[in-house]
Structure 1
């Protein structure tokens, strides 16, 4: 069998999971080739760059935050459930401070500037914050809450500040990056061991073609993520270029192949097959998140799990005043503790209420929310909040009037508000478990109901990503077959694999899992599975 390229370890998909795998395999002495369909970075580069970490990281210590791996483990045990074993979760938590040290050692910038208010994503003044539901009702009693959202320091969405230093370190240490090379098929030998990858590559295309391809794929990723019709047009051009200029190449992997090609949120057919209730919303990722990594694995007998688990984020903050609002369904009934992370609100709406939800606020709360827009929001959050306040709401002098305007049950809404206000007056705990800091009565008209339902909105979208993938051995990252055995030479990481966040998502947990699972897969692939 002839090969066009050869290495010890071949990584397919070079986002944060892939580059972490490449770095770890490289540090173990392996020769590494990293293949990426586009230019590298994937969904990681256009993400917020949040890494969920705790247990006493250097960032937390500098910020004066006390935390322990026991508290982190106690909180995540409830969020993670059976996605991974308790032993794996314990290891993830115990090694969390060292993970931030590892990232810092590769040049990723962090800063110990603590955000003083709860938000979905901090402003450029803050880089450590509560990124999950640690302080929400039902969680703060489990363990002492601590801010664990470590945002890579950089203006705007900081994914590029997380990925950029990692890929620079990988290249400086000898990792070979083969851009514009789309893996299409895994190659196995007669023993059933994965020994290489079949690709379609533009590496021999004219320079001007490669430059145009890079420009188009960059635009498809961002701003294409915000405007799907634009991405669709660009992808047609990209696919035409691939059809004309891409040539087949075969890449040998002497020790192992790591699949880290992202999830499948961009493949609407797969989403409809596995989680039809999640159709719609904003695909959070690039066009490369099409499930191809998962499909390459299943083509050689890999098992999958949790493919129906999708995280949808309904963020209602900033402004932080909306933590005191009341989220109701079409019957006027309250759904969830509104101070929880946006993924919990999205789940309550889609999985339990047909994707519908309205945010109830009285005049005082709306006034306070408007006053916070200038100080608490990034530009994209400002657009979303302004859209919500100005274009997605209706008002009424009474609860019955505002309910009638949006078509929800007026009696149900009045009963919900009465019970809510009575509990506050009696000094009772919030029935949904919302912390007392955020509980306030609904009293002053006019009353507003803001439509936060799942719908195709360019200015206030409902972002979604897939959480399931290939089943892997939790010690090595080696892919497991449908028969329950390891597939020799094949590893998976990030959203191509089942991991720590495959049941429940909090901000930064996916990227943290990408780093953890990527490093694990890279280290074991470098040793041919014997490490």
Structure 2
């Protein structure tokens, strides 16, 4: 689908709301019913606010298809259950290293101090968590474990700055846990009276002469129609197929768009106190990615078809500003198998550039932003043997096992000497030999590792034969998932979208990956979902305050 097909139109401008014949209305109108939208809806509805959510597909967005990990700490019940100590200060000291200046120190501190309460809030609305910790670090633990080190907390350079603790709280349930997190939230929203209009797309905002957002012009497929049924079926297949056949999934997205354009019916929906844009990022929009983050075009877009930037562009159409649009996250996970992380990764010059035990997004960032996308993993026979054993049936997830096995079988260059290996993969021989020799000295305990790798992650590569696996960003056999991190700039106290002058756009809010938040600098597993809770609840509470203020004013006038 082309950028022109998806670009939201300029706002429908009117003198005042009474000028239009509205088809529906609500105090808060939510555009995008995923993690952030659901949390905003629940928070607002629990305070007596009427909420209508518009969802282009079935609901859940990237949250429902994620690992369901919520980054939380400061002494959660699950951390206590595991016998672990943590504090908001330690959480803040760690996250400051990851979040940078994406949000203010005050906002990040509040995020950390409210972390336990936000996790407890999720539990009150049906989500479940547990304090079982895996014995070894992994990019995503098996169904036996639900609390883990989901970032760089235990990496020495980070641990020196902040006391480490596992803070990745995975929603309890079998399989990928995103759906286990979203389903109870959707059910809670329904119990609280939140209405959800599915297969309904907000195509443009309705704006008054004073610049205030009054509502949206939406287009909905007729409920129960043949087109709606086909759309639902095709949407499910498209997102399920995408990781395995991206090109075919893209063709099906064009069919989805054609169905919407041919059969959807126009509806004008009034937002009495605010429109929330919570429609995700823009990783599925090639035009936006080319413009803002072209280095990430070779990655595998991670999310759902709704992550097309439509919510961001709706905000821009009303004067909203964006920031950090160049920020994206490439996930080059090399653990499991743990043996891979005990090897070393080099660039096109045969030199190491990142601690291999670091979180996959940190490794991916260095690979894409600093090394031209190159990442070549060097192992020896002992580590290859360990790696095969570590990804055996029943030991890791299939999405972790299959790429590892395929690459060891079909993407590994073998050589009886490092000189021969360098020749076969096109690396400078002297550099590779020097890199491996320096690494071996650290593994033998003769020196500290130059990149600060933990002793337990070091392995001597003195004995061959040696293997090289090309895990570069453009690899077709070891695809690298990518998400976008930038979005609309918002007031960090209310979630209101900010305009060019730094002032709020009246009546317009944004949350989740649609907006700049705590996850907009470097990514850590669970940080995006935690920000959905934080930023979504923030908007819901603010709109509830607006409703109360209007009600109090009205009652005062009557008296």
Structure-1 residue corresponding to 2:312 = 294
2:183 is aligned to 164
| Per-residue deviation, 1:229 | 1.7
Correspondence list, 1:33-48, <5 A: 33-48=52-67
Q: For residue 330 of structure 2, what is the aligned residue in structure 1? A: 312
Verify: 1:503 aligned to 2:547, yes or no.
Answer: no
**Aligned 1:225-264 pairs, distance under 5 A:** 225-264=243-282
Q: State which of 119, 143, 152 in structure 1 corresponds to 2:162.
A: 143
Mapping of residues 457-496 of structure 1, within 5 Å: 457=476, 460-496=478-514
1:264 Cα deviation after fit: 0.4
Residue 110 of structure 2 is matched in structure 1 by 91
Look up the match of 2:436.
417
1:513 corresponds to 2:531: yes
| 1:431 and 2:431 aligned | no
Q: Please state how far the C-alpha of 1:528 moved relative to its aligned partner.
A: 3.1
Moved more, 519-528 or 156-165: 519-528
Residue number in structure 1 paired with 2:22: 3
- Structure 1 23/206 Cα, relative in aligned 2: closer, same or farther at 3 Å? closer
Q: Shift of residue 408 of structure 1?
A: 1.5
DSSP-derived class of the 2:144 partner: coil
Give the conservation status (yes or no) of the 8 Å contact 1:14–1:36.
Answer: yes
- After superposition, residues 265-276 of structure 1 pair within 5 angstroms as 265-276=283-294
State the match for 1:402 in structure 2.
421
| Aligned residue in 1 for 2:384 | 366
Separation in structure 2 between the aligned mates of residue 527 and residue 190 of structure 1, nearest angstrom: 25
Contact 1:11 1:35 in 2 (8 A): yes
What residue ranges of structure 1 are gaps of 5+ in the alignment?
none
TM-score scaled by structure 1? Answer: 0.97
Cα displacement string for residues 229-257 of structure 1 (whole angstroms, at most 9, x for unaligned residues): 22112112211211221011111100111
8 Å CA contact 1:489–1:529 kept in 2: the answer is: no
Offset of residue 512 of structure 1: 0.7
> Shift in Å at residue 126 of structure 1?
1.0
Q: Could you tell me how far apart the structure 1 residues matched to 2:522 and 2:445 are?
A: 34
Conserved? CA contact 1:491–1:525, under 8 Å? no
**1:308-344 Cα distance to aligned partner (Å, 9 max, x none):** 0000000101111222110101110001011111001
Q: Is the 8 A contact 1:355 1:454 kept in 2?
A: yes
Mapped partners of 1:88, 1:236: distance in 2: 40
Q: In the alignment, what sits opposite 2:360? A: 342
Displacement after TM superposition at 1:209 (Å):
2.4
Contact kept in structure 1, 2:146 and 2:172, CA below 8 Å: yes
Specify the alignment match of 1:103 in structure 2: 122
Please report how far the alpha carbon of residue 454 of structure 1 lies from its aligned counterpart in structure 2 after TM superposition.
1.1
For the Cα contact (< 8 Å) 2:442–2:458, is it kept in 1?
no
Residue aligning to 1:441 = 460
Give 3-state SS (helix, strand or coil) of 1:147's partner. coil
Q: Of residues 233, 243, 247 in structure 2, which corresponds to 1:215?
A: 233
- Whether the 8 Å contact between 1:33 and 1:177 is mirrored in structure 2 is yes
Return the offset for 1:19: 0.4
SS of 1:528 mapped into structure 2: helix
- Counterpart contact for 1:399–1:413, Cα < 8 Å: yes
Q: Aligned partners of 1:320 and 1:476: how far apart in 2?
A: 43
3-state SS, counterpart of residue 270 of structure 2: strand
User: What residue in structure 2 maps to residue 153 of structure 1?
Assistant: 172
- Partner SS, residue 156 of structure 2: coil
CA contact (8 A) 1:137 1:337 kept: no
Report the secondary structure of 1:139's partner residue: helix
Q: Please say if residues 46 and 160 of structure 1, whose CA atoms lie closer than 8 Å, have aligned partners that are also in contact.
A: yes
Mean CA deviation greater in 149-158 or 18-27: 149-158
In structure 2, stretches of 5+ residues that fail to align are 1-19, 550-559
Tell me, in whole angstroms, the C-alpha distance in 2 between the residues paired with 1:335 and 1:82.
24
Q: CA deviation at 1:456?
A: 5.2
Q: 1:524 is matched with which residue?
A: 542
Shift of 1:167: 0.5
Q: CA deviation at 1:176?
A: 0.1
Distance of 2:197 and 2:142 partners within structure 1: 35
- Whether the 8 Å contact between 2:65 and 2:176 is mirrored in structure 1 is yes
CA contact (8 A) 2:27 2:547 kept: no
Q: Distance in 2 between the 1:504 and 1:94 partners? A: 20
Provide the rounded CA distance (Å) in 2 between the counterparts of 1:205 and 1:20.
25
- Are positions 1:189 and 2:245 aligned together? no
Distance 1:376 1:142 in 2: 33
SS at match of 1:479: strand
8 Å CA contact 2:485, 2:520 repeated in 1: yes
The secondary structure found in structure 2 opposite 1:433 is coil
Q: How many positions carry a matched residue from both structures?
A: 529
Q: CA deviation at 1:376?
A: 3.5
Partner of 2:403 in structure 1? 384
How much does 1:205 deviate? 5.2
2:159 is paired with a residue whose SS is coil
Measure, in 1, the Cα distance between the counterparts of 2:479 and 2:207: 42
